[in-house]
Amino acid sequence: MISKSSARSAARGPRYPFMRRPLVLASTIVCLGGMVPMAHADTAPASAPVSTAIEPAAGSYNRDLTLKQLGRLDTMNLQGVEAADGVNFDIRADEVVNGAQLVLRYSYSPALLADLSQINVLVNDEVAASLALPKEGAGQPQQQVVQIPPHLITEFNRLRLQFIGHYTQQCEDPQHSSLWAKINNSSQLKLSVSPIQLKDDLSILPLPFFDRRDSRQVNLPVVFARQPDNVALEAAGALSSWLGGLAAYRGARFTSSLGQLPQQGNAIVLIESQEAVQLGSLQVPAPKGATVTLLTNPNDPHGKLLLVAGRNAAELKLAATAVAVGSKALVGNSVVIDHLDPLSPRKPYDAPNWLPSDRPVRLGELIDTRQLSVSGYNPGNINIPVRLPPDLFNWREAGVPLDLKYRYTPQQESANSSLLVSLNNTFMKSMPLPSLKSLDGGENLLALLKKDESLPREANVLLPLGVASPRSQLQLRFMFDYVKQGECRDIIIDNMRGLIDPDSSLDLRGFNHYIALPNLGVFNDSGFPFTRLADLSQSAVVLPDGSGPQEWGAYLTVLGRFGESTGYPATAVTVVQAREVQTVSDKDLLVFASGANQPLLEQWADRLPASTSGNSHRFNLSDLTLRLRDWISPDAQANQRKPRLQVTYSGANSSTYLAGFESPLKPERSVVVIASGKPEGLADATAALIGGDPYKDSIQGSLAVVQDTRITSLVADEQYYVGDLSLFKRVQWTLSQNLLWMLLVTVAGLALVSVLLFLFLRSRARKRLS
C-alpha cells in the first residue's frame, strides 16, 4: 500500500488526456476538399516501380509497418467464394494520424471472373477500397496503393482484407480450388502521424514510456544525474524490468547516460541528491523525500521525463519501487512517497507470466476468453501462450494433463469434422466432432444440446514436455467438414460455431524441478536460473570496475529481458562490484565485463571456457557447431558437447561472448558471464538476447559467441544440477545414469532375495522335519 502527498497537483484527471476521434477528425478537416474517394486505389503492374511515400505535414513523421510486423507471420490465404483475414494496428496516445496508405502486395487465381471478383480493404469494418481482379494480372504478383481516409483510424484498429471470388455465372462450388487469393505479409501500412502533447500527470503512467498501442520495440534512455552507486543501479534495474515486463513480445532496450538529457523523446532520470540539480537547461529542486515527478522534456515539447529522486540511496530505491509496483495509484504532477509497505517475499516459480506448478491453471487465465470462440468451417488456430518453468523434469513422465472442455455446433451429416490439438506446431491429438446423424438421438441428445444448440464435449490430452519449451504455444483448431450436396445445391451457411470452455485446465502438479546446468538456452528464453524468484532476490549483478554508460545500459537491458520473462519487476536484485562478490556468495551471479576491467574473469579463468584481454582471445571448442540437437532435455548425457580443443589467437577485433558455469563460491549456484573486449560490444550481446529477424540462431550451450547478428554456440558442458527430485525419482535417475551402480544394485538385490528365499525355505524345512 502506498501513501503519498502531492507536491503540485492532486486532482485526478482522466486516464487518457484527450479524445481520439475528434482529434483525428480535426486533423483532416483542412484536407477534405482533396480527399481521395474511399474506393480509390493507385494501381501499378508488378514490374512498374510505385512511389508510395506520404508527404509529411509540417511537424509530422512517417511510420511504415509490414503485415509481418503487425503479427501476420505468414501469407494470408483467402479461399472460397468469401474469405477474410486481418491484423490489428493501433495509434499511440501521443500521436494523431494525418494520412495513411496500404501498399498491398497480392496475387489471385487466373480462373476468377473479373466482373464478379474483388478484394475489399476494410478499416474498422468500413470499406476503404474495393480492388478489381482483372484477367491480365491473374497468377502473378501485384501491387496496389490504397489510400485510407484518416477519419477511419481510431486508437485501436482492425485492418481486414476480404476476398470475394467467383469462377462461373452458373452453379458453382463455394469451396472450389480455383477460388483463391494470397496477401503477402510484406504488404506495408504507411502512416503519417503528428505528435501531440500529453499532460504532466502521473496518472497516465506507463504512458508515454510504454504504450500498449505501439507494437515496436521499446527504446528508452535512462539518465543518472550523478555517478550512480550500487543502490541507484538497483533502483534503475527495478524500473527497467518493470518496463520490460510491460513491453512483453516487443522487447525493451535501454541506453544510459550521465547528466545529459536526450535532445528529443522520453527518458527516465534518477537523482540522488540533497541539493538542487542542474541538468542542461532543467533546474531540479532539492528532493523533499522519495519523489516521483512527470514533466516535459525541456529539449522536446512532446517528450516526457520521469524524475525518480531521493535525498539518499534508500529514498531513491523507495521511489523507484513505488513506480514499479504501484504506478497505477500515483496521481498528479509530482508526489512524495511517504511509506511503502514491505513487499511479500516471492516464492520460487511464482512469476506472473509462468504457469503455476502448485495448482491447475484455467485456459481462461491465459487468454482473453473472447478468443476462445470461433466461427466458420475452417476458422484457424486458437493460439494460447504457455510459459513453462524451464526446469520441469520430464524424464519418464507421460506429459502435462490438459483437461479440455469444448462445445460445437453439430452438423446434420459429416464425416471429418474434428478438433485438432497441437503444441508448438507439433500435432498432439484429434478429437472427432460427431454429427447429429452419428449420435444416438432421443431425449439424451436433446438434454445435451445447449440453448444455443451447441453440443458439450470433454477430452483429456497429455502434452509431452519433450516437444515443449519455456515459450510454448498451445494450438486448438476446429475444422468442420463441408459436405457437398451436388450441383446447384451447395450453399455455405455461416452457422458453424466452436468454443473452448475457459474452465479447461492445464495441470503441472506432480512435476519435479530439476535441470542440468549451465544451459544458456534457458537463460536466453527465460532468464533462468535468475528468474526462479520473480523479484530476483537470490540474484546479484557484478559490474566491472569503473563501469560506465555502456555497462549500465547492458545491465538494464538484461533486467528488462528478465522482466519480460517473469512479468514482475526486479525489486530485490543486488548490484555489487567485483571486490564485494564475497558478500553475495550465496546468490546466482550475473557478471558483466568489457575489456580488462573485470578481475573476476582472471580469478575464475580455470572455469571460464573463454577469455578476451586486449587483442588476445581464447576459446574452448567442441563438436557442437557440427551437430543439431534438441536443447531442452533432462538428460545431461544427451546435452554434452564437452570441449575438445582450445584455440588462442590475436586480433584487433573485439570478441563478445556469453558463458555459464557453476559458481566457485557455492555449489549449485550459477554464474553467467556477458563479456566483450570493448564496452560497446556489450550491446551486441544484449541485442542477441532480445533476438528477432536478423538472428538465424539463438544462444545455446555453455559458451556462445556473438558477432554482429551471427550467434555461434561453441560448447555445451553441463556439469551440475539444480533443483529437487523425490527420493524414488532420484534413485531411478541416478541408477539410469550409472551402469555400474545399476549392476551393483541389481546384484545386491538378487543376493538379498536369494538369502531371504534360502532362509524361508530352510525355516519351512525345519518345521516339516519337526
Per-position DSSP letters for 217-240, written without gaps between them: PEEEEEEESS---HHHHHHHHHHH
Q: pLDDT of 661-687, one tens digit each?
A: 999 999 999 999 999 988 999 999 999
Query: What is the predicted pLDDT for the residue at 472?
Result: 92
53 pLDDT band, cuts 50/70/90, is low
Of residues 570 and 28, more confidently modeled: 570
**Mean pLDDT of all residues in 203-226:** 95
Question: Using an 8 Å Cβ cutoff, are 686 and 656 in contact?
Answer: no
3-state secondary structure 345-359: CCCCCCCCCCCCCCC
Of residues 554 and 638, more confidently modeled: 554
Query: What is the predicted pLDDT for the residue at 452?
Result: 63
Q: pLDDT of 727-761, one tens digit each?
A: 888 887 777 777 777 788 888 888 888 888 888 88
Nearest CA among 12, 449, 329 for reference residue 199 = 12
Query: What is the predicted pLDDT for the residue at 442?
Result: 52
Query: What is the predicted pLDDT for the residue at 629?
Result: 45
Q: Express as a percent the part of the chain with pLDDT over 90.
A: 60
Query: What is the predicted pLDDT for the residue at 395?
Result: 86
- Angle, helices 727-737/739-769, rounded to nearest 10 degrees: 110
**Mean pLDDT of all residues in 356-361:** 93
354 pLDDT band, cuts 50/70/90, is very high
What are the C-alpha distances in Å from 76 to residues 85, 121, 185? 7, 14, 7
pLDDT mean across residues, the chain: 85
CB neighbourhood size of 671 (10 A): 21
Judged by average pLDDT, the poorest of 4-13, 109-118, 172-181, 505-514 is 4-13
Which three three-digit cell numbers place residue 256?
544510459
What are the C-alpha distances in Å from 188 to residues 67, 87, 105, 146? 6, 12, 8, 10
Given a cut of 50, is residue 12 above it in pLDDT? no
One-letter identity of residue 390: P
Three-state DSSP at 167 gives coil
Of residues 55 and 487, more confidently modeled: 487
Query: What is the predicted pLDDT for the residue at 766?
Result: 84
